[in-house]
Structure 1
Amino acid sequence: MRKRHTAIFISIIIALVLQIVPLPFQVDLYRPDWVLVVLAYWTMALPHRVNVGIAFICGIAVDVLMGTTLGIHSFGLSISVYVLAANYQRLRNYSVWQQAIVIGLLSALYHLLTFWVQHLLTDIYFQLDYLWPVLTSMVIWPWVFWLLRRTRRQLSIT
């Protein structure tokens, strides 16, 4: 029983680590939104366990780990997970490739929200480079979906 509860927590911790792993500057530009992708899977699979509150806490953790202003990532993750949680029953019926497009749209929403808040606070300007993680998040979705689904089924997480 305890394994079931910790599997979600461990997958989120792994996503947080992948979010901050040092990469060369040229590759870091394309880093997928690991935390958003993992939260998206668990929100679609188990909306009663992973919801906006968990997304808010994960966003605070991302803010602390990345050294950004507290609340920027939690705002973006909370809104993105809310949109996903409000439509999870419909999205479950989509194929993995259609879900990847939805993940891309959620990632774009997340990046635009975080940019907007950062722009209000620090006066940065928009560059198209901010949206590269949208494409890489779409590309990794089928593999993350497969891995987390397999884990959920093996551990009988409900």
Structure 2
Amino acid sequence: MKAKNNTKVIYITILISLIFSIIPLPIALDAYRPNWALLVLCYWSMALPNRLGVLTAWLVGLLLDVLLGSVLGINAFALAMVIYVMVNNYQTIRNFSLWQQSLIIGLFTALYHLLVFWIQRFVFGVDFSMTYLIPVVTSASLWWVIFLLLRKIRRQFKVR
């Protein structure tokens, strides 16, 4: 694949993660939905921090706000903050083993959900529930799958 098409691979994976974020699930399973967009953005910002950064995360978050019908800027702000932390620490996180990275991703997902909660608490006055943090566990558990899959895609299509 030519070098100019390599960026398309990144955006296609982000688009697929956005589709996974809005696919309808049964009500009983919806609480367990991992943060697909966050996982994919974390991978690409760790693997290629010079190609994907805070601005891309903010734009993806804005798209996620539109797709989910939430107040514009909530997911954009939370994703941008998490990716900011990831980009500033990518060299350290990249050297951790997969299970250690899963713990870090769990912390990033918790940060994301807490930022979204704080903004929603300020705007709407919502109350906190521990079930709000269930996606932290599912996202951290799926990190190794996302990591290995996207690394295979990155190597196959020579994304640099």
Task: Give me the TM-score of the superposition, normalised by structure 1.
Answer: 0.99
- 1:77 — aligned with what? 79
Deviations 1:57-87 (A, max 9, x none): 0000000000000000001101000011110
1:39 to 31, 38, 41: 41
> The residue matched to 1:69 in structure 2 has which SS?
coil
Identity %: 47
C-alpha displacement of 1:2: 3.5
Superposed, 1:95-134 pairs within 5 Å as: 95-134=97-136
In structure 1, the partner of 2:19 is: 17
Q: Which residue in 1 is equivalent to 2:7?
A: 5
CA distance in 2, matches of 1:123, 1:91: 35
Letter of the 2:96 counterpart: Y
Deviant stretches of 4+, over 2 Å: none
| Contact map agreement 1:51 1:82 (CA 8 A) in 2 | yes
Letter in 2 for 1:100: S
Provide the C-alpha distance between the structure 1 equivalents of 2:43 and 2:64, rounded to a whole number of angstroms.
18
CA distance in 2, matches of 1:40, 1:28: 22
Residues in 2 aligned to 1:133 and 1:117: alpha-carbon distance in whole angstroms: 18
Q: 1:153 is paired with a residue of what secondary structure?
A: helix
The 2-side partners of 1:48 and 1:39 are apart by: 13
CA displacement at 1:3 relative to structure 2: 2.9
Q: Which runs of 5+ in 1 are unaligned?
A: none
Counterpart mapping for 1:44-63 below 5 A? 44-63=46-65
The 3-state SS of whatever aligns with 2:106 is helix
Tell me the CA shift for residue 148 of structure 1: 0.3
Partner in structure 2 of residue 153 of structure 1: 155
Q: What RMSD, in angstroms, separates the aligned Cα atoms of the two structures?
A: 0.6
Distance 1:49 1:2 in 2: 13
3-state SS of 2:158 partner: coil
Q: Secondary structure at the match of 1:49?
A: coil
TM-score for the superposition, normalised by structure 2: 0.97
Cα deviation, 1:5-45, whole Å, max 9, x if unaligned, reads 10000000000000010001110000000000000000000
Counterparts of 2:5 and 2:144 in 1: how far apart (Å)? Answer: 24
SS of the residue aligned with 2:123?
A: helix
Structure-2 separation of matches of 1:85 and 1:42: 10
1:138 aligns with 140
Indicate if the aligned counterparts of 1:3 and 1:155 stay in contact, CA closer than 8 A: no
